[in-house]
Homo-oligomer: A and B are copies of this chain.
Amino acid sequence: MQSSVRGQAMAAEIGEQPAVFDRVLSEGAPAVAAVAAEVARRAPRFVLLTARGTSDNAALYGKYLLEILLELPVGLTSPSTTTVYGARPALSDCLVIAVSQSGGSPDLIESTRVARECGALTLAVTNAPDSALARAAELHLDVLAGPELSVPATKTYTAQLLTLYLLADYWRGGRGEAARELPALAADLLDRDDEIGALAHRYRFPDRMVTTARGYAYPTAREAALKIMETSYIAAHAFSGADLLHGPLAMVDSKVPVIAIVPAGAGGLALRPVLDRLTEQAADLCVIGSPEAITRGAVGFGLPGGVPEEVSPMLEILPLQLLAYEIAVGRGLDPDTPRSLAKVTETH
């Protein structure tokens, strides 16, 4: 898995995302429609999402989708309550969705198996249809991202997002219309790698960063922080805009760069007071967002207009993946093989 050129696999996999979007929308949609129909038929009243790492950020996006579009109560599980403490919750009327790139993490397999025994409708969303997790769940969706060799997940993350989006949209009776333009929009964004290269220069030296967003974009802030941590070893810390004001704002000064994700829509609007507070205390602010929002930052990267907010996370993360890659390569690191990490992490 050692690549001869630093970050070669990560760069290639970032670049594949328009094609992966296209594949999920064409080849993946029928399976998603079938699973959504079965889920709708079973009419769960509560949803629990289970995941770790990057997939946990995709699960958080799924939480927003299901809370807002399906108006269901949704929780993210703490897998240890079943795998470490042996809890056997009563889960009839519950849908449990396990999200995992490899489908191989023992704690997810075990907690999915237990959830199924406890009466939940279980669905695994993985990039590995032959995995133990896919077999443990009653239903399975393949995110169709193809083999991912770089340790930092990129195309599997956005493929998970799109699969979860289509699931939610079909479940509520849609047909994924709002996602149709994703392949073209993603290709346009990735063509702007020169802009990201320039931005990466600004982050050549800091060893701390903060990312922030609200609502649908909050998973993007978390995933961006994780990518930057994994590849560049920067202490990148994500906060929802509301939580940032409840304490962590104290540690942000002009030497801690802040990246805010501010798409058009209600979540972006709700972040405005946070941007004001950051500006007041002279934070170094970069805005990834709508053309109007990026004027709030010292630097910025404009997202395309006309994209529904619930679809935007599949685009917002692309410049941030590129940024993580560029910062790492600029620091002489190999983002494909971060120190201390393996591609499949086995936690119990």
Contact = CB atoms under 8 A, between A and B. Distances in A.
A243 interface: yes
A215 B81 contact: yes
A68 B87 contact: yes
Contact of A347 (B76, B242, B253, B341): B242
A195 interface: no
Interface in A18-55: 45-46, 48, 52-54
A187 interface: no
Interface stretch (A123-131, A135-143, A227-235, A293-301): A227-235
Given A52-B246, A54-B247, A67 B84 contact: no
Given A80-B242, A80-B267, A249-B340, A90 B64 contact: no
A73 B50 CA distance: 12
A109 to B, nearest CB: 13
Contact of A89 (B54, B71, B234, B267): B71
A75 B73 contact: yes
A295 B305 CA distance: 57
Interface of A: 45-46, 48, 52-54, 56, 63-64, 67-68, 71-76, 78-81, 84-85, 87-91, 93-94, 107, 152, 207-208, 214-215, 218, 226, 229-231, 233-235, 237, 240-243, 245-253, 256, 266-267, 269-270, 273, 277, 281, 338-341, 345, 347-348
Contact of A107 (B78, B152, B242): B242
Given A242-B80, A347-B242, A234 B251 contact: yes
22 contacts: A45-B90, A52-B242, A52-B246, A63-B78, A64-B81, A67-B78, A71-B87, A71-B89, A73-B90, A74-B75, A75-B75, A78-B218, A80-B214, A84-B267, A208-B235, A226-B247, A226-B248, A229-B250, A235-B256, A247-B341, A249-B340, A270-B348
Q: Binding site of A, secondary structure by majority: helix, strand, loop or mixed?
A: mixed
Contact of A247 (B53, B81, B84, B93): B53
Given A73-B94, A226-B247, A250-B340, A215 B85 contact: yes
A6 to B, nearest CB: 15
A347 B212 CA distance: 15
Contact of A46 (B46, B267, B348): B46
A340 B282 CA distance: 11
Nearest to A233: B251
Best-surrounded residue of A48, A80, A87, A240 (most CB of chain B within 10 A): A80
A281 B340 contact: yes
Given A84-B270, A338-B250, A347-B242, A75 B53 contact: no
